[in-house]
C-alpha cells in the first residue's frame, strides 16, 4: 500500500505529539508521586494536576496508537467494537481534561483571589476528581451507540451517526456541549479573569499576623508568577480547544453527521486536543526541566574538569605547587569550585527539577550559606592569582611570596567570605505560609533584616568585601601586566637581537598574559549578573531579588558556567596543566624556569665545547 505524503506527514506529526504526551506527562506524574508528601498532601491544585496528567496519559497510551494508524492508512481497520470503545474513551477522557482545567482554575481563584477562604477538605477534593471522570463518562455514553464504521469515499471510516429523531439529536448535542465544554470553559475564564484582576489590579492590604513584610513581598511576587503560568495554561487551553467548541456548535445547528471523522474541522479539533495534552503540563514543567538539565550538565563538566586539573596539580606537586604561589591559588580556586559542584549543585538540581525546596529549613540555611561563601572564596582566589601574576610578570625582581604567607592568604580566602556571609544563616528561611502559599511551592530565599538601613548597609559591606574590592584588584593587576608585557615591545626594532633565553621568557610572558586575560574576560562575563544583583539589593533591599527571580537565576547560571569554564581554559592554555600531554603523551611538565636555565646551560656548554675544540686544533698543528 502506497502512502501519500499528506498521510505520512500527519502520522509523523501525531507520533511526535504522542511521544511528547507520554514522556512529558509521565515525567510530571513521577515528580508528583515522588514528592507526594510535599505536593499532594493537602494541596488540591497538585492533586488536580495529577488528575489531568493521568487523563492525558490515558488518552496517549490507549487511543493515540489507533489514531496514528488511522491517519497513516487514511481508513479504520479495527472493526466496529473497537471503533465504539476507542472513540468513546477518547471523547470521555477529553471531557475529564476539560473538567480538571476548570477545577484547577477554581482552586487558583480560591488561593490567590480569596486567600482567607478555608481550604477545601480532602474528601471534597476526592469527590470533585471522581466527578471529573463520572460526568463526562455518563454524558458521552450515547456515543457508544452512535459511533459505527461507515464507508465514505470508498473507505471505512469510524464516525458518529445521527440519532433517528432530529430534535432529540440536536438536544443531546446541546446538552453534551453545555455540560462538558461550555460550562467548564466559563468557569475557567471567570476564575482566571478575577485572579488576574486581583493580582494585577491592586496589591493585597492584609498581612497575616507574625509575617514579615519582606516575606510578604516575596509571596506577592510568587503569586504574580503563578498567575502568569496559569494565564499561559488557560491561553493554550482556549487556543487548542477552540476548534472543538466550533465543531460542537456546528453539530448542534446542523446535526451530528454534518461533520464526520474525516472532515477537516474534526481533524483540526483532534490535533488541537492532542497538542494541549502534550503542552498543558509543559508550561509549568518545561522551564524547570530545562534549567535542571543545564545545571546537571554544568555540574558534570565542573566536577570532572576540576577533579582532573586538581589531580594533575597534586600529581606534579613537586614541580608546580612547591614554591609556586600561582598554582597553589589555582588549586584553591578549583577546590572552591568543587565545593559548589559536589555539595551544592545536587540540591540546586533537585530544586529546579521539582520547582520547590524539599530539604527543610536547616539545610536551606546551610546550603545557601555555603554556596555564597564558596562563591566569595572563588572571587578572592581570582584576585590572589592576579596579584601573583602581577608580581611575577610586571615586577619580576621582587622575591617570591613565602610559603607561610601563601598559606595565610589561602586561609583568609575561606575565612573572610565565611564571616562576611554569616548573617545569611539568619536571613535565609523557607516561605511557606498556610494562607498565602497553600498551593505554592516552598521557597528557600533570603529575607531582609527588619531594620531597612541596616539591611542595605550589610548588603553594601558584603558586596564590597566579596565582589567589588577583589574585582578592582583583578582589573588593576591585569591592566599593569598587559601594559608591561605588550607595551615593553614598542621600543624594540625588528632587527633587535635578543638572547635565546630572553626570547623564550618574553614568549612565556605573552602566553601567560593571554591565558590570564581570557580567564578574566570569562570571569567578568559570568559574574556581571552577580554584581548587578548585589547593586540591586543595596539599592532596594535583600528581599527585592528572591530565589526564582530572573536576575537571581541568571547570576546562578553564570557562576555555574564559570566553574565549568575555568578547568577547560587552564587545561587548554596552560602547558603545565595540559591534560592531553599528561594522559596520552606522558610528556614532562613545561617549566618556564627550567626552560630558561636549560637554554642558558646549553649556551654555556656550547661555549666550553668550542673552546676545547680550538685548543685541540692548536695542539694538533705542530704535530703535522
Q: Are 69 and 79 in contact (CB under 8 A)?
A: no
**Residues 354 and 268 both lie in one domain:** no
Is residue 333 one of the residues assigned to a domain?
A: yes
Q: Do 226 and 129 share a structural domain? A: yes
∠ CA 485-490-493, nearest 5°, is 125
Domain hosting residue 235, numbered range: 5-202+221-280
**Is residue 478 domain-shared with residue 560, that is, in the same domain?**
yes
For residues 288-294, average pLDDT? 72
Q: Tell me: pLDDT of 218 over 60.
A: no
Domain match, 275 and 332 both: no
How many C-beta atoms lie closer than 10 Å to residue 44's C-beta? 25
Q: Stretch 111-138: mean pLDDT, rounded?
A: 85
CATH code of the domain containing 226? 1.20.1070.10
Domain membership of residue 14 (yes or no) is yes
Is the per-residue pLDDT at 539 higher than 90? no
Q: What is the reported pLDDT for 281?
A: 53
Using 50, 70 and 90 to split pLDDT, how confident is the model at 384?
very high
Residue by residue, DSSP assigns 409-451 as: HHHHHHHHHHHHTTTHHHHEEEE--TTT-TTS--EEEE---SS
pTM confidence score:
0.56
Nearest CA to 319 out of 567, 601, 580, 593 is that of 593
Same domain, 131 and 245: yes
Say what the pLDDT of residue 24 is. Answer: 79
Tell me which of 322-331, 407-416, 578-587, 595-604 is least confident: 595-604
Predicted local distance difference test score (pLDDT) of residue 133: 92
Q: Flag whether 312 is in a domain.
A: no
Q: What pLDDT does residue 275 have?
A: 63
Q: Is 342 exposed, middle or buried (0-12, 13-18, 19+ CB in 10 A)?
A: middle
237-262 burial code (b ≥16 CB/10 A, e <16):
beebbebbeebbeebbeeebeebebb
Sign of CA dihedral 263, 265, 271, 277: negative
pLDDT score at 395: 82
Say how many C-beta atoms besides its own lie within 10 A of residue 84's C-beta. 19
- Residue 495 pLDDT > 50, yes or no? no
Most confident of 343-347, 487-491, 588-592, 593-597: 343-347
Q: What is the per-residue pLDDT for 64?
A: 77
Copy the grid coordinates of residue 119: 481550604
- Do 77 and 141 reside in the same domain of the chain? yes
Give the pLDDT of residue 107: 87
**pLDDT at position 68:** 75
Classify strands 428-431 and 443-446 as parallel, antiparallel or unpaired: antiparallel
Q: Is residue 72 part of a domain?
A: yes
User: Is it the case that residue 156 has pLDDT exceeding 80?
Assistant: yes
Give the CA distances from residue 77 to residues 80, 85, 122, 620, in Å, rounded to whole numbers and listed in that order.
Answer: 9, 14, 45, 109
Q: Is residue 295 part of a domain?
A: no
Q: Are 348 and 230 in a shared domain? A: no
Structure confidence at residue 613 as a pLDDT band (50, 70, 90)? very low
pLDDT at 428 over 50: yes
In a domain, 447, yes or no: yes
pLDDT value at 382 more than 50: yes
Q: Is 285 a domain residue?
A: no
Quote the CA–CA distance of 413 and 401 in Å, as a whole number. Answer: 16
User: Does the pLDDT of residue 199 top 50, yes or no?
Assistant: yes
Q: What is the pLDDT of residues 90-107, one digit of tens each?
A: 888 888 888 888 898 888
Residue 433, sorted as left (phi over 0), alpha (psi -120 to 50) or beta, turns out to be: beta
Query: Which element (helix H / strand E) includes 151?
Result: strand 147-152
Backbone conformation region of residue 161, classed left if phi is above 0, alpha if psi is from -120 to 50, else beta: beta
Give the model confidence (pLDDT) of 240-277 as tens digits.
767 776 766 676 666 666 665 556 666 666 666 656 65
Percent of the chain with pLDDT over 70: 72
Q: Is residue 143 predicted with pLDDT exceeding 80? A: yes
Q: 402 by DSSP, 3-state: which?
A: coil
Q: Examine the domain organization and report whether 273 and 412 are in the same domain.
A: no
End-to-end CA distance of the chain: 104
DSSP state for residue 149 in the 8-state scheme: E
pLDDT mean over 200-227: 51
Other CB atoms within a 10 A radius of the CB of residue 6 amount to 10
Calculate the alpha carbon distances from 1 to 6, 73, 149 in Å: 14, 9, 21
Residue 316 lies in a domain: no
Assess whether 337 and 272 both reside in one domain.
Answer: no
* Maximum mean pLDDT: which of 57-61, 130-134, 558-562, 600-604: 130-134
Residue that is written with C-alpha cell 497510551 in the block: 61
58 plus 189 within the same structural domain: yes
Number of domains the chain contains: 2
| 255 and 109 in a common domain | yes
Least confident of 13-27, 68-82, 444-458, 479-493: 479-493
Q: Are residues 533 and 392 located together in one domain of the fold? A: yes
Quick one: pLDDT band at residue 12, thresholds 50, 70, 90?
A: confident
Q: Which of 217-221, 442-446, 543-547 has the highest mean pLDDT?
A: 442-446
Eight-class DSSP state of 155: E
Q: Does residue 408 surpass a pLDDT of 90?
A: yes
| Mean pLDDT along residues 278-287 | 54
Tell whether the model's pLDDT for residue 3 goes beyond 70.
no
Amino acid at each position: 500500500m502506497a502512502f501519500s505524503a499528506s498521510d505520512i506527514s500527519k502520522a509523523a506529526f501525531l507520533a511526535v505529539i504522542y511521544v511528547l504526551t507520554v514522556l512529558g506527562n509521565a515525567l510530571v506524574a513521577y515528580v508528583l508521586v515522588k514528592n507526594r508528601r510535599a505536593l499532594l498532601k493537602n494541596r488540591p491544585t497538585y492533586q488536580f494536576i495529577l488528575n489531568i496528567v493521568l487523563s492525558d496519559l490515558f488518552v496517549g497510551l490507549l487511543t493515540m496508537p489507533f489514531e496514528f494508524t488511522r491517519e497513516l492508512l487514511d481508513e479504520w481497520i479495527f472493526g466496529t467494537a473497537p471503533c465504539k470503545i476507542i472513540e468513546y474513551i477518547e471523547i470521555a477522557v477529553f471531557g475529564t481534561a476539560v473538567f480538571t482545567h476548570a477545577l484547577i482554575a477554581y482552586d487558583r481563584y480560591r488561593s490567590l483571589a480569596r486567600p482567607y477562604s478555608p481550604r477545601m477538605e480532602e474528601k471534597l477534593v476526592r469527590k470533585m476528581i471522581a466527578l471529573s471522570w463520572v460526568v463526562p463518562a455518563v454524558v458521552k455514553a450515547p456515543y457508544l451507540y452512535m459511533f459505527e464504521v461507515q464507508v465514505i469515499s470508498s473507505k471505512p471510516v469510524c464516525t458518529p451517526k445521527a440519532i433517528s429523531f432530529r430534535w432529540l439529536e440536536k438536544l443531546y448535542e446541546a446538552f453534551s456541549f453545555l455540560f462538558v465544554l461550555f460550562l467548564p470553559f466559563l468557569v475557567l475564564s471567570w476564575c482566571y479573569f478575577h485572579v488576574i484582576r486581583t493580582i494585577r489590579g491592586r496589591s493585597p492590604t492584609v498581612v497575616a499576623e507574625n509575617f514579615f513584610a519582606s516575606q510578604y513581598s516575596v509571596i506577592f511576587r510568587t503569586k504574580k508568577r503563578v498567575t502568569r503560568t496559569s494565564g499561559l495554561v488557560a491561553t493554550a487551553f482556549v487556543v487548542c480547544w477552540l476548534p472543538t467548541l466550533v465543531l460542537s456548535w456546528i453539530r448542534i445547528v446542523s446535526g451530528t453527521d454534518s461533520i464526520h471523522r474525516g472532515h477537516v474541522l474534526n481533524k483540526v479539533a483532534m490535533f488541537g486536543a492532542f497538542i494541549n495534552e502534550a503542552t498543558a503540563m509543559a508550561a509549568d514543567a518545561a522551564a524547570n526541566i530545562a534549567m535542571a538539565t543545564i545545571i546537571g550538565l554544568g555540574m558534570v563538566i565542573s566536577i570532572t574538569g576540576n577533579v582532573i586539573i586538581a589531580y594533575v596539580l597534586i600529581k606534579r606537586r613537586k614541580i608546580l605547587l612547591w614554591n609556586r604561589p600561582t598554582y597553589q591559588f589555582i588549586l584553591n580556586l578549583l577546590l572552591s569550585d568543587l565545593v559548589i559542584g559536589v555539595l551544592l549543585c545536587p540540591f540546586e538540581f533537585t530544586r529546579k527539577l521539582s520547582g520547590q525546596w524539599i530539604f527543610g529549613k536547616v539545610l536551606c540555611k546551610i546550603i545557601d550559606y555555603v554556596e555564597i561563601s564558596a562563591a566569595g572564596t572563588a572571587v578572592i582566589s581570582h584576585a590572589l592569582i592576579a596579584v601573583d601574576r602581577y608580581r611575577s610578570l610586571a615586577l619580576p625582581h621582587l622575591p617570591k611570596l613565602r610559603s607561610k604567607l601563601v598559606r595565610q592568604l589561602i586561609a583568609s580566602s575561606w575565612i573572610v567570605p565565611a564571616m562576611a556571609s554569616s548573617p545569611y544563616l539568619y536571613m535565609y528561611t523557607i516561605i511557606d505560609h498556610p494562607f498565602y502559599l497553600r498551593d505554592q511551592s516552598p521557597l528557600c530565599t533570603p529575607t531582609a533584616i527588619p531594620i531597612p538601613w541596616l539591611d542595605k548597609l550589610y548588603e553594601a559591606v558584603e558586596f564590597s568585601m566579596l565582589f567589588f574590592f577583589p574585582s578592582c584588584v583583578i582589573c588593576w593587576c591585569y591592566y599593569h601586566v598587559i601594559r608591561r608585557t605588550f607595551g615593553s615591545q614598542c621600543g624594540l626594532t625588528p632587527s633587535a637581537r635578543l638572547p635565546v633565553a630572553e626570547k623564550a621568557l618574553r614568549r612565556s610572558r605573552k602566553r601567560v598574559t593571554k591565558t590570564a586575560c581570557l580567564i578574566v574576560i570569562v570571569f567578568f562575563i559570568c559574574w556581571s549578573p552577580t554584581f548587578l544583583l548585589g547593586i540591586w539589593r543595596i539599592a532596594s533591599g535583600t528581599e527585592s531579588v528572591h530565589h526564582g527571580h530572573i536576575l537571581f537565576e541568571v547570576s546562578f547560571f553564570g557562576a555555574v558556567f564559570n566553574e565549568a569554564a575555568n578547568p577547560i581554559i587552564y587545561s587548554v592554555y596552560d602547558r603545565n596543566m595540559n591534560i592531553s600531554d599528561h594522559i596520552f603523551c606522558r610528556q614532562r611538565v613545561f617549566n618556564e624556569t627550567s626552560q630558561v636555565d636549560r637554554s642558558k646551560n646549553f649556551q654555556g656548554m656550547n661555549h666550553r665545547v668550542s673552546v676545547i675544540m680550538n685548543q685541540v686544533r692548536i695542539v694538533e698543528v705542530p704535530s703535522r
